[in-house]
């Protein structure tokens, strides 16, 4: 916690450090009352630095015991500490600093630095947690060779882990033991890790492409050893994929993953010793849903891929965060697409981006993929850095094609191996292998905001030409009022009555056309430009932004007939799905308009017919059908609105859902019955697809209001042999809202808890289902849940399930006109501000969107932000978000 007002730091002020640290030797003595850390650091002065520059190290909440340079103890005049630093006034050009500090991991509730989670010790150092362990140059451009010795009680902590390879171990006095680790790869401090605990390991091995054997070891608490297999298999698939697709091989003899219960985010890519939130590594069919199985696969892969994109080649400074995160998200999403259904993965990624990243871009925390400044870096682990960053890399991939992109990534890894570099270095490698000019493209990294593409067209029947005119613009964001045009790939095709039409673009070189000649990537660069297609024999419907080839908002005036045609005929799975969403939106808007006039407005029959056709088309991937039949979320509709009308969005969307459910009841029932299976559970893409459609059908059956629907859900709940079906049934019953469902919901929630109360991750889901329940009185329920025996205010997963579920997954109740939801959230944030600033600041997100609501809600939300702002000792995390939201 800082006394002075936190200040912003700027990318333009970047300077190399005055010193480098060649070697980092750490010794940890873990005791019950404190941990003593002795660091021996080999410093050399940077050639470019001032010869007299003092040594200034980062450090926070450290109890300094002693300092020595080259074996000579320093006296108090030689140094000075401030709240977040240690200055040693005069040092030679090369020297060894020995520093002893004490820390109290058991009191560290921020879950940053070294802390205790249940019975174990673990670390989280990214971005700036290492400075809570010892004084250091805690910045990613200082890369060092680490050795780590850990000593602790042998009974309580039989397992002692750090990065790299174990090199020595032994017994010590008083029942203690020690292990020494050495990591031969240079790394910044944010990749340091330490774990001590009583853990079980599950082992496997992987033979790399060059024939080396790597030991794979996953550590969990004993009770969880039956939930490791999926992560292990995912890890092996990821290792193989990175060799096949990127030519990247693993570089140590051992790769470890440790599962930890109290963790601020999903996982962390520490060199050779990944630390995971249990929710992102543990999985088995009894306790884990399909969604979580896929998340485990994706996160295991993501962290593994960081070994090259992040660890071997790291970031020069935190403004470059997307260099590793955007690229690694792109890599993991391609991996998931290859392992499962490409279209489903694309739709999921785009939904997330359009719903939450676009909202971020439109709010007070909007920032470029390469931010120009920040106050607290922890606030910049955002959807913009991760998801938009990945989209920007994807665009480079589309512009270059897979072969050139691979050449570019090879060059990047080879050129910068062992270095800390910038986004510019990454793009330069892509430019060098392709000879392309990425100057204009760099605006994707430097300008915040979501561009809008407005497309119009003209068909000339006589000349048989079809002209597309593309205009682009981008709304202002806090960091800049006006934006320059972007360079973007616009993938598209044309549909005639019978399907895809061949494309002949005027003036295009033959090789810009794809093999099948019905899909093309147009390169858009100007504020307005036109593309003319020749030999177009009939007036086409354009299929635009195929695969969502650029992270933009697309405006084209589709008629409902056009949308129905795209839904049934388009060869691009993404556009097919998108057409269903646009059609659904139009129908929901109809209802929002008509709700004021009639209590039960009609729903466009054409939409219902189009949905029926999709449902009955057994040739389609059931997962795509499920996605097409899922109405746009309330959050997405809200993102698209100029002023969010909470009630109207909620009721209109539910109304359309109910009408669909009633009119297509028989079809949903058929689908539900057709997809029943007696096969054993398996989390493969095909089975997941079938379950997703079956459970979507169940959702509509329950929403129809018919008693039979509820009975089917009850039967599924009682008989399910896997968590996906069980949870889908429970959610449907708990959220049904009819009086008939009430007692059933009570019974099922009780049964579910009774059965799973010893499985913390399942209990999180149980909390979340209730916190997200859209029925009335949610706030009361949430308050009760927070008193529940299984709730734990110190555990981020529990907070996310209950508080996050309510504030981010229950819009109709959180935004209740009384403002009670806002006040409740603000109270919790103030409570968390000191305890866990990162969690506090994350949970603030819904309040930051206040400007998008009606005047009444604006006032209430703003008032809560003002209350938070008044708090005396605000963490920099909360301070930054609150002040930016109010400015």
Is residue 126 a contact residue for ligand B3K (CB under 6 A)? yes
Which entry of ligand B3K, Zn ion, none binds 349, CB below 5 to 8 A by partner kind?
A: none
CA distances from 267 to 133, 270, 273 (A): 20, 9, 11
Helix (H, G, I), strand (E, B) or coil at 278: helix
Interface pick for ligand B3K out of 57, 265, 399, 723 (rule CB under 6 A): 265
Query: Which are the contacts of 538, defined by CB distance < 8 A and separation ≥ 6?
Result: 496, 497, 501
Q: CA 789 to CA 800: how far, in whole Å?
A: 17
Q: CA 797 to CA 753: how far, in whole Å?
A: 17
Preceding amide of 82 cis, omega within 30: no
Between 98 and 302, whose beta carbon lies closer to ligand B3K?
302
SS (H, E, C) 495-527: EECCEECCCCECCCCHHHECCCCCCEEEEECCC
CA distances from 640 to 64, 407, 574 (A): 53, 39, 19
Interface pick for ligand B3K out of 178, 381, 426, 486 (rule CB under 6 A): 381
Which entry of Zn ion, ligand B3K, none binds 265, CB below 5 to 8 A by partner kind?
A: ligand B3K
Which entry of ligand B3K, Zn ion, none binds 562, CB below 5 to 8 A by partner kind?
A: none
Interface pick for ligand B3K out of 262, 269, 570, 639 (rule CB under 6 A): 269
The CB-of-303 to ligand B3K minimum distance in angstroms stands at 5
Q: Which stretch binds ligand B3K (CB under 6 A): 134-142, 237-245, 267-275, 460-468?
A: 267-275
The CB-of-311 to Zn ion minimum distance in angstroms stands at 11
From residue 797 to residue 836, the character string flagging contacts with ligand B3K as x (rule: CB under 6 A) and all else as - is: ----------------------------------------
Between 692 and 836, whose beta carbon lies closer to ligand B3K?
836
Between 333 and 340, whose beta carbon lies closer to Zn ion?
333
Q: Which residues are catalytic?
A: 303
Beta strands in 622-682 (DSSP E): none
Q: Which stretch binds Zn ion (CB under 5 A): 171-179, 326-334, 343-351, 869-877?
A: 326-334
Please work out the total of residues on this chain that contact ligand B3K, with binding judged by CB under 6 A.
12
How close are the terminal C-alpha atoms of the chain, in Å? 23
Is residue 336 a contact residue for ligand B3K (CB under 6 A)? no
Interface pick for ligand B3K out of 127, 194, 202, 610 (rule CB under 6 A): 127
Q: Which stretch binds ligand B3K (CB under 6 A): 262-270, 333-341, 647-655, 682-690?
A: 262-270
Between 126 and 547, whose beta carbon lies closer to ligand B3K?
126
Q: Which stretch binds ligand B3K (CB under 6 A): 131-139, 264-272, 597-605, 872-880?
A: 264-272
Interface pick for ligand B3K out of 303, 621, 714, 816 (rule CB under 6 A): 303
Q: CA 176 to CA 559: how far, in whole Å?
A: 74
The CB-of-292 to ligand B3K minimum distance in angstroms stands at 17
Between 60 and 328, whose beta carbon lies closer to Zn ion?
328
H or E element: which one contains 675? none
- Residue 317: closest CA among 49, 57, 13: 13
Cα angle, residue 858 at apex, residues 737 and 475 outer, rounded to 5°: 105
Binding to Zn ion (CB under 5 A) within 335-354 occurs at none
The CB-of-499 to ligand B3K minimum distance in angstroms stands at 42
Q: Which stretch binds ligand B3K (CB under 6 A): 130-138, 266-274, 580-588, 760-768?
A: 266-274
Helix (H, G, I), strand (E, B) or coil at 567: helix
Give the DSSP per-residue string, 329-347. Answer: HHHHHHHHHHHS-HHHHHH
The CB-of-790 to ligand B3K minimum distance in angstroms stands at 26
Between 224 and 303, whose beta carbon lies closer to ligand B3K?
303
Interface pick for ligand B3K out of 18, 224, 325, 547 (rule CB under 6 A): 325
Which entry of ligand B3K, Zn ion, none binds 381, CB below 5 to 8 A by partner kind?
A: ligand B3K
Residue number of the CB closest to ligand B3K reads 126
Between 389 and 573, whose beta carbon lies closer to ligand B3K?
389
Which entry of ligand B3K, Zn ion, none binds 361, CB below 5 to 8 A by partner kind?
A: none
Which entry of ligand B3K, Zn ion, none binds 725, CB below 5 to 8 A by partner kind?
A: none
- The two tokens of residue 203 are 């082992």
Is residue 376 a contact residue for ligand B3K (CB under 6 A)? no
Is residue 399 a contact residue for ligand B3K (CB under 6 A)? no
Is residue 18 a contact residue for ligand B3K (CB under 6 A)? no
Give the DSSP per-residue string, 749-816. Answer: HHHHHHHHTT-HHHHHHHHHHHHT--SS-HHHHHHHHTTSTT--TT-HHHHIIIIIHHHHH-HHHHT-
Return the CA Rg of the chain. Answer: 28
Between 25 and 880, whose beta carbon lies closer to ligand B3K?
880
Q: CA 798 to CA 262: how far, in whole Å?
A: 9
Q: CA 466 to CA 539: how far, in whole Å?
A: 8
Q: Which stretch binds ligand B3K (CB under 6 A): 3-11, 34-42, 261-269, 334-342?
A: 261-269
Q: CA 885 to CA 866: how far, in whole Å?
A: 10
CA distances from 311 to 190, 249, 304, 487 (A): 10, 13, 10, 30
CA distances from 274 to 267, 311, 383, 753 (A): 7, 12, 22, 31
SS (H, E, C) 349-382: HHHHHHHHHHHHHCCCCCCCCCCCEECCHHHHCC
Contact positions toward ligand B3K, by CB under 6 A?
A: 126-127, 265, 267-269, 302-303, 306, 325, 378, 381
- Binding residues vs Zn ion (CB under 5 A): 325, 328
């Amino acid at each position: 916690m800082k006394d002075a007002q936190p200040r912003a730091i700027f990318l333009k002020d970047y300077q190399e450090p005055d010193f480098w640290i060649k070697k980092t030797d750490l010794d940890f003595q873990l005791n019950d009352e404190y941990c003593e850390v002795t660091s021996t650091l080999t410093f050399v002065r940077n050639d470019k630095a001032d010869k007299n520059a003092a040594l200034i190290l980062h450090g926070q909440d450290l109890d300094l015991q002693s300092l020595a340079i080259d074996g000579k103890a320093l006296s108090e005049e030689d140094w000075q500490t401030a709240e977040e630093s240690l200055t040693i006034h005069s040092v030679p050009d090369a020297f060894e600093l020995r520093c002893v500090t004490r820390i109290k991991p058991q009191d560290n509730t921020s879950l940053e630095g070294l802390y205790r989670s249940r019975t174990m010790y673990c670390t989280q150092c990214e971005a700036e947690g290492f400075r809570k362990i010892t004084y250091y140059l805690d910045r990613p451009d200082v890369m060092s060779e680490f050795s780590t010795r850990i000593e602790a009680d042998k009974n309580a902590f039989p397992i002692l882990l750090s990065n790299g390879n174990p090199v020595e171990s032994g017994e010590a006095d008083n029942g203690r033991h020690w292990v020494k680790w050495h990591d031969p790869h240079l790394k910044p401090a944010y990749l340091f890790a330490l774990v001590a605990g009583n853990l079980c390991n599950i082992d496997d091995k992987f033979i790399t492409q060059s024939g080396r054997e790597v030991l794979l070891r996953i550590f969990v608490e004993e009770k969880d050893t039956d939930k490791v297999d999926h992560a292990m298999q995912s890890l092996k698939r990821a290792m193989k994929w990175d060799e096949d697709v990127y030519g990247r091989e693993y570089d140590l003899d051992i790769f470890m993953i440790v599962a930890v219960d109290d963790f601020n985010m999903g996982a962390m890519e520490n060199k050779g010793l990944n630390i995971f939130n249990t929710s992102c590594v543990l999985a088995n069919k009894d306790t884990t849903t399909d969604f979580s199985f896929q998340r485990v696969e994706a996160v295991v892969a993501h962290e593994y891929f960081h070994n090259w994109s992040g660890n071997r080649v790291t970031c020069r400074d935190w403004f470059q965060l997307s260099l590793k995160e955007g690229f690694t998200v792109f890599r993991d999403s391609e991996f998931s697409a290859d392992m499962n259904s490409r279209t489903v993965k694309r739709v999921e990624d785009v939904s997330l981006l359009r719903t939450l990243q676009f909202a971020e871009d439109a709010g007070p925390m909007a920032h470029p993929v390469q931010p120009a400044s920040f106050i607290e870096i922890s606030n910049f682990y955002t959807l913009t850095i991760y998801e938009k960053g990945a989209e920007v890399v994807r665009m480079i991939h589309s512009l270059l094609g897979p072969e050139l992109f691979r050449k570019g990534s090879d060059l990047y890894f080879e050129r910068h191996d062992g270095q800390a570099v910038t986004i510019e270095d990454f793009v330069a490698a892509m430019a060098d292998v392709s000879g392309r000019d990425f100057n204009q493209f760099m605006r994707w990294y430097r300008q915040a905001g979501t561009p809008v593409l407005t497309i119009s067209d003209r068909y000339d029947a006589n000349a048989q030409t079809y002209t597309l005119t593309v205009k682009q613009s981008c709304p202002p964001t806090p960091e800049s009022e006006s934006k320059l045009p972007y360079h973007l790939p616009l993938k598209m095709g044309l549909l005639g009555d019978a399907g895809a039409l061949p494309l002949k673009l005027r003036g295009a070189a033959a090789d810009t056309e794809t093999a099948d000649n019905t899909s093309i990537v147009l390169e858009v660069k100007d504020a307005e430009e036109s593309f003319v297609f020749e030999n177009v024999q009939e007036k086409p419907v354009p299929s635009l932004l195929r695969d969502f080839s650029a992270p933009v908002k697309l405006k084209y005036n589709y008629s409902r007939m056009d949308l129905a045609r795209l839904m049934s005929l388009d060869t691009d799975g993404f556009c097919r799905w998108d057409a269903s969403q646009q059609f659904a939106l139009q129908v929901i808007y109809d209802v929002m308009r008509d709700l004021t006039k009639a209590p039960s407005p009609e729903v466009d029959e054409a939409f219902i017919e189009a949905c029926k056709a999709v449902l009955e088309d057994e040739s389609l991937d059931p997962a795509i059908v499920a996605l097409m039949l899922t109405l746009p979320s309330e959050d997405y509709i809200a993102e698209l609105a100029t002023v969010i009308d909470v009630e109207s969005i909620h009721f209109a969307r539910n109304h359309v859902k109910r009408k669909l459910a009633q009119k297509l009841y028989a079809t949903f029932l058929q689908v539900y019955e057709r997809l029943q299976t007696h096969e054993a559970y398996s989390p493969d893409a095909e089975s997941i697809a079938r379950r997703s459609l079956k459970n979507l059908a169940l959702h509509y059956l329950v929403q129809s209001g018919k008693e039979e629907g509820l009975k089917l859900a009850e039967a599924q709940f009682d008989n399910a042999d896997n968590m996906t079906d069980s949870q889908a049934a429970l959610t449907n019953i708990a959220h049904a809202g009819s009086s008939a469902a009430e007692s059933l919901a009570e019974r099922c929630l009780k049964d579910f808890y009774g059965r799973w109360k010893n499985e913390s991750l399942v209990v999180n889901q149980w909390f979340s289902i209730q916190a997200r329940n859209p029925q009335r009185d949610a706030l009361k329920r949430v308050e009760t849940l927070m008193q529940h025996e299984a709730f734990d205010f110190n555990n981020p997963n529990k907070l996310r399930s209950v508080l996050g579920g309510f504030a981010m997954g229950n819009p109709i109740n959180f935004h209740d006109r009384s403002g009670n939801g806002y006040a409740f959230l603000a109270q919790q944030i103030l409570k968390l501000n000191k305890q866990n600033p990162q969690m506090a600041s994350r949970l603030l997100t819904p309040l930051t969107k206040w400007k998008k609501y009606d005047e009444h809600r604006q006032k209430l939300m703003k008032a809560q932000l003002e209350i938070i702002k008044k708090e005396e000792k605000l963490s920099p995390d909360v301070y930054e978000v609150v002040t930016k939201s109010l400015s």
